[in-house]
Structure 1
Amino acid sequence: MYPKDYTQYLFYFHCLRDYFECHEVLEEFWKEQPNHSREDHWVGLIQIAVALYHHRRGNFNGAKKMMNNAISNLSKKTKEIEKLGLDSMQLIEILQKHSQKIENKLQYESINLPIKDDHLMQICYDMAEKQNLNWGSASDLSNDYLVNKHTLRDRSDVIETRKEELNKRKNNL
């Protein structure tokens, strides 16, 4: 009923608070969709994760920009968000409240997405239980790897892929 990548996103979002992985898993899924565009609701969900990643790191400007983009995108995609088992109006309200915290440069606090589909909620709880994790627990702000993952992870595969893409573009000219 729901794409596996989407439920993975929810798992990373609510159990691990690994917003970097939220971005990675959903971006890859989004790019595989036919006729994908930056206006897709998937992009809005990615932007939420990126905004929270920036906010947790104290990058208020980046967080504000991403959160505003997410609100703008998802405000126009209520039907798509509802089909994903989320309460679209409540989601926008949560994001707007969090945006105010960012605007006021308040410390990061974890948020939960408003899942209204009981079946989806059960899928999520089952995923958490299999990993012995608690659904909706707060982010571990002392976990430097989680907070600064983009600077601490091995990026050799990303760098190699970018080189290959650059070479392809050069050869096509």
Structure 2
Amino acid sequence: MSETMPQEFWQGVEQFNSRQFYACHDTLEALWIEASEPEKSFYQGILQIAVALYHLGNRNWRGSVILLGEGSNRLRRYPSNYGGIDVDELLSESVALLKTLQQIGADKITAASDLDEQEALTLPKILLTNN
């Protein structure tokens, strides 16, 4: 873990990786409100991706696609490894999911009985770095 990132950040990462996306949003939003740049936009990018995944779980295709795009675009400003996480991997997985969702379309998402059964949907994970 990075010494520069607060404990709440790591709690949010843990929540993200265990698919507790709403809790992750709450945790990171509390940090985001108090943060200054460059951390402020970093937190916001991750929490937007978390909310996108929350929307996806609720079959809200439009909300998911919009926030995946916004969160990914925000994180593009950061180096490959930032704050102790692998930003490139999170971006790569988020963009891949966004492209898949755009190809699948809203109708297939809203009609899905279980999103985990959709083999094409791989949800992003936040990987830690050694830096």
> Which category of TM-score, normalised to the shorter sequence, fits these structures?
0.7 to 0.9
- Find the structure with the greater CA-based Rg: 1
Normalised TM-score (structure 1): 0.58
1:1-173 matches, cutoff 5 A: 1=3, 2-15=5-18, 17-34=19-36, 40-78=41-79, 82-103=81-102, 104-105=104-105, 107=115, 109-117=122-130
Unaligned runs of 5+ in 1: 119-173
The question of whether the paired residues in 2 share the 8 Å contact of 1:55 and 1:102 is answered with no
The question of whether the paired residues in 2 share the 8 Å contact of 1:12 and 1:18 is answered with yes
Unaligned runs of 5+ in 2: 110-114, 116-120
* Cα distance per residue 1:86-106 (max 9 Å; x no partner): 222222111111112221245
The number of residue pairs the alignment matches comes to 114
Which amino acid counterpart does residue 58 of structure 2 have in structure 1? R
* Cα distance per residue 1:145-173 (max 9 Å; x no partner): xxxxxxxxxxxxxxxxxxxxxxxxxxxxx
Instruction: Give the CA deviation at 1:28.
Output: 0.7
CA distance in 2, matches of 1:68, 1:83: 19
User: Kindly, what percent of the aligned residue pairs are identical?
Assistant: 22
CA distance in 2, matches of 1:26, 1:84: 14
Distance 1:63 1:73, change over 3 A: same
- RMSD of aligned Cα (Å): 2.3
Distance 1:35 1:110, change over 3 A: closer
Instruction: Give the CA deviation at 1:64.
Output: 0.4
Instruction: Give the CA deviation at 1:113.
Output: 1.5
Normalised TM-score (structure 2): 0.75
* Cα distance per residue 1:65-91 (max 9 Å; x no partner): 000001110011226xx2322222222
The ranges of structure 1 where at least 4 consecutive aligned residues each deviate by more than 3 angstroms after the TM superposition are: 34-37, 105-110
